[in-house]
Each structure stands twice: as C-alpha cells, then as structure tokens.
Amino acid sequence: MKKQTRKFIFLLLAALPTWISAQEKPFFRSPDGLSLISTDLHIHTTFSDGSVWPNIRVEEALKEGLDLISITDHLEYQPHLKDLPNPDRNRSFQIAEDTAKKSKLTVIRGAEITRSMPPGHLNAVFIQDANKLLFPDDPVAGIEEANLQKGFVFWNHPNWDAHRKDGIAKLDPLHVELIERKLLHGIEVVNFDTISEEAIEIALENGLTMLGTSDIHKLTTWDFDIPQGGHRPMTFVLSQNNSPQEIKKALFAGKTVVWFKELIIAKEKHLLQLVKDNLSLSSPSYDGDKLIAKVTLRNHSANPLHLKYTGPFTFHQNSTIFKIEPYGEKDINIKTHRLMSVIDLQFELLNGIIGYKKNLNFSVKTM
Ligand SMILES: [Zn+2]
Ligand SMILES: [Zn+2]
C-alpha cells in the first residue's frame, strides 16, 4: 500500500469514533472536566434466573447507549441448572465480555450474593473471581471475600416486598455491622420499577453510594418500553475519565446520579452540578419600552425537566410550574419591573430528588 493511502486510512479510522459518537446525543451533558458514565450494575442471564443469553445483554446495552454494565447472576440460585449445568460462576461474564470486545461497552465482573434477610441480596462488582464468593451457608463470608478482591458491594432492592412486607427499606443490625466494617459500600435506591426514598435516606445517613439498576431478567425493550422512548434505570458515575479504575474510584466515593423514569436522584451537590450543565437560560430581551423580559430556557438532557419557579417575579404568559421536554426549550415572559441585563431565576426541580421528600432548589443565570 502506498504511504499516502495508508496515511489516509489511518486518519479516517482515527476520526471514525468521534464521528460516530457525534451522531448520538448524550443522555446528559457531563459536568465540567468529568466523564458521566452510564451504567447498569444489576443484570441477569440464563446462567441464573434470567431468560436471555449474555450476548443479548451486551447488544441491549449497546443499543441503549450504555457505557458500562455488569452481569450479576445469582451465585446460589440457578433454576435452569438441569438444562444448563454451570459450575463456573464467571462464565456469563466471560461470554458478555467476549461479545463486547471491540465495542464501546465495558463489561465488568460481578455476581449477586443471594441470602434471605438479613442481609438479603447483595451485588459485588469489580471482583476478580465470582467462584470464590460462593459460601452458601455463611451470610457474610461471600461479602468478605468480595472485599478481599477489592470489589464494590451494594445492597440490592432493600425495599423488595418479598423481604419487607411494607416496602420500607430499613437497616437490620447485620447491615449496620457491614457498614461499620466498611464491607458494604452502596445501596439501590431504585431497582427495576421501584424507588425507595427510605433507601435514599439510608444512603445519605450512612455514606453509602446511591444506585439505580434494571435487575433485568427478561428483555429491557419489553420491560422499559424502549421503543416508546423509555429507558432502563441507570446509574451515572461522575468519573475523572472512562477507565474502569476511575469509575470504580468514583463509585466508592459516592459520585453517582440515578435516572429512573422521569426522576433524577443524587446528592445535592451532584444534582446541582448536573443541572448547571444541562439547563441554560438565554439573555433577556425587551420589546420597545415594555418591562417584560423574554428569555428562553434550554434543556440539554434526555430527561424532561419539571420546574417550579420560586423567585420574586411573576410571569406574564406562563404558569410558574412547567415542563421542558427532552432537548427542548421553553420561552418565558417575566415581569421584571425594570430593564435588567442579567436575570437570576430560582427554581425547584420537581423531578430532582436529593433526599427523603426533598427536591433540588437551584438558580440559573442568564447568559
Ligand atoms: Zn436480588
Ligand atoms: Zn437480581
């Protein structure tokens, strides 16, 4: 091959990934200097009680624009055992990892440690060897081993009505012990189609990382209405970059945002950061000698923003409670009493949750 042609092909290949990713809009704009990694860390396959082969999990995740997943089959519960004898608990991960090779999706090793309450079900991700986590008769040994492997361990569906009749997440003494021993690092505040505000409170009070996962057993497209614009629950990790090491570090540091249906759930500082980069306000303009400012709010995310204006002004043509569609915009007329070149608008984000019965309050300044 001629040197020039080789050079051209090299340049073309180098430009390709940017060109492809430029075609898709991100779910959310990343806060300054950070990567926002979309993850699902709770997924099942036929190797435990799921209904699909691991390769389909990878294809689903790629179609849905995820950056990182973990296949977390139950270690101790394998209802398809007769048809699918599987002594190797790493096998579903290996198939998924192999399928994801050369794609933009990262697959990390994981497993679901499956116990009655307490402690219930716990996921261990970023582990080295799932087989070594298998201690069917000991409630804590698998969790200790996951920690020896430097894994990230979180409590699954603490609100599950099979374990908590009232659907209320609460800590048992064993959970308190696991937290004190630093063996438990996170908690699902969202699992499949449920949310737990009590789990949000537990996370905030105990320094646990908040997670939202699909816990998918069938097909995501059916369970989350993907063709109609739905999405699975995701955990966005605010990471320094997209390397698995940094993502793991950010998970341990509790830097997550959970996306569930139209809700975004995070610690106040993380949600503030996200909103700052995903909602912008145009400079005000005034017609003639009128004192009514016209501004446009822009939503740069895939999630609708439900806003309630909480500031001192009144609006001329709009309700102070409104919604901005995904990637959409909203024109607002504000009675500002005088000409203003810069306006600061205060809002409550009605679908932004930062605690138990607590929404995010923030302000946005005109450009
Ligand atoms: Zn479970
Ligand atoms: Zn599960």
Q: What is the pLDDT of residues 185-213, one digit of tens each?
A: 999 999 999 999 999 999 999 999 999 99
**Domain end: 229, 261, 293, which one?**
261
Could you tell me the distance, in angstroms and rounded to a whole number, from the CA of residue 313 to the centre of ligand 2?
Answer: 48
What are 305-360's pLDDT values in tens digits?
999 999 999 999 999 999 999 999 999 999 999 999 999 999 999 999 999 999 99
Looking at the CA of 73, name the nearest ligand: 2
Residue 65 within a domain: yes
Residue 250 confidence (pLDDT): 98
Q: Please give the distance, rounded to the nearest whole angstrom, from the Cα atom of residue 188 to the centre of ligand 1.
A: 11
pLDDT in tens, 27-73: 999 998 999 999 999 999 999 999 999 999 999 999 999 999 999 99
- Across residues 256-282, what is the average pLDDT? 98
Average pLDDT over residues 130-152: 96
What pLDDT, on a 0 to 100 scale, did the predictor assign at position 20? 41
Indicate whether 113 pLDDT > 80. Answer: yes
Q: What's the gap in Å between 329 CA and the centre of ligand 2?
A: 38
In terms of domains, do 295 and 216 share one? no
Task: State yes or no: pLDDT of 17 exceeds 50.
Answer: no
Helix segments in the chain, DSSP class H = 3-23, 54-63, 91-100, 141-148, 173-180, 197-206, 220-223, 244-252, 268-278
Cα separation, 119 vs 122, in Å, equals 8
Q: Report how many domains make up the chain.
A: 2
Ligand sitting nearest the alpha carbon of 215: 2
Backbone angles phi, psi at 182, to 5 degrees: 60, 30
pLDDT at 1: 46
CA nearest to 109, candidates 117, 119, 121, 100: 100
Predicted pLDDT at 6: 54
Question: 101 CA distance to ligand 2 centroid (A)?
Answer: 25
Do the domain assignments include residue 20?
no
Q: Which of 261, 291, 316 is the last residue of a domain?
A: 261
Instruction: Determine the distance separating the centroid of ligand 2 and the alpha carbon of 189, expressed in angstroms.
Output: 14
What pLDDT is recorded for position 4?
54
Q: Supply the pTM of this predicted model.
A: 0.92
Model pLDDT, residue 16: 47
Residue 12 lies in a domain: no
My answer on whether 79 and 156 are in the same domain is: yes
Neighbouring residues of the ion ligand 1, judged by CB less than 5 Å: 121, 156
Distance 233 CA to ligand 2 centre (A): 14
Does 348 lie in the same domain as 246?
A: no
pLDDT value for 326: 97
Asked if residue 349 lies in contact with residue 301, where contact means CB atoms within 8 angstroms, the answer is: no
Ligand nearest to the CA of 213: 2
Domain annotation covers residue 267: no
Cα(352) to centroid(ligand 1), Å: 26
Q: Does residue 31 sit in the same domain as residue 159? A: yes
Residues 43 and 163 in one domain: yes
**Residue % of the chain over a pLDDT of 90:** 91
